[in-house]
Amino acid sequence: MEQKRANEDEEEGEQKTFLKCPFLPPSVNKCYMRFRRSVHLTSEAKKFKDNVAALCVGKKKVLGTVALYIRAHKQTARRWDVDNILKMIIDGIQHRLIGDDSLVMRIVVEKIISLKTEPEGFELIVKQLTPPLPPQQPHKIKRNTKLKKNK
């Protein structure tokens, strides 16, 4: 009989990266500001992205389409929405742990209200779903440079 693996999710050659962050991102409502006709990141959002970039140093980038598994810990009894922190987490790991945020195909978020039992922050697992596509050669278009004259 074939033995079951300890972790059935793991497959041979699968790419996976783990990141533990000791702080939560600012809410989306505090990340962007309007100035004239354009939208800019606030200093709070820039600081978060810089801190996440520092945590990503030395971590393996997962290529291809990915799934994100996030456990967010917050020490509050107040209501809070997990979707308010997703944008900044994904933007923070983009081009560091994943190729591009358009390659995220699945997001699983667990919200944990830990009233002083665990520190605030989030844990992230990036798991490869499909390998990256091989680079494609540009198509050469053959053009008929000689025009045929109608007789």
Of residues 150 and 124, the one with the higher pLDDT is 124
* Alpha-carbon gap, residue 44 to 114, rounded angstroms: 24
Q: How confident is the model over 21-76, as pLDDT tens digits?
A: 999 888 888 888 888 889 888 999 999 999 999 999 999 999 899 999 999 988 87
> CA quadruple 109, 115, 117, 122: dihedral positive or negative?
positive
| pLDDT for res 12 | 54
Work out the angle at residue 93's Cα, subtended by the Cα atoms of residues 125 and 32, and round it to the nearest 5 degrees: 125
Query: What average pLDDT score do residues 104-122 get?
Result: 87
- C-beta separation of 149 from 93 below 8 A: no
pTM (two decimals): 0.74
Query: What average pLDDT score do residues 83-94 get?
Result: 90
- C-beta separation of 63 from 131 below 8 A: yes
Query: What average pLDDT score do residues 75-87 get?
Result: 83
Strand 121-130 to 65-74 pairing: antiparallel
Go through the domains of the chain in sequence order and give each one's CATH number.
16-130 (3.30.1330.70)
Strand 104-113 to 65-74 pairing: parallel
| pLDDT for res 112 | 87
Query: What average pLDDT score do residues 79-95 get?
Result: 88
* Alpha-carbon gap, residue 90 to 122, rounded angstroms: 12
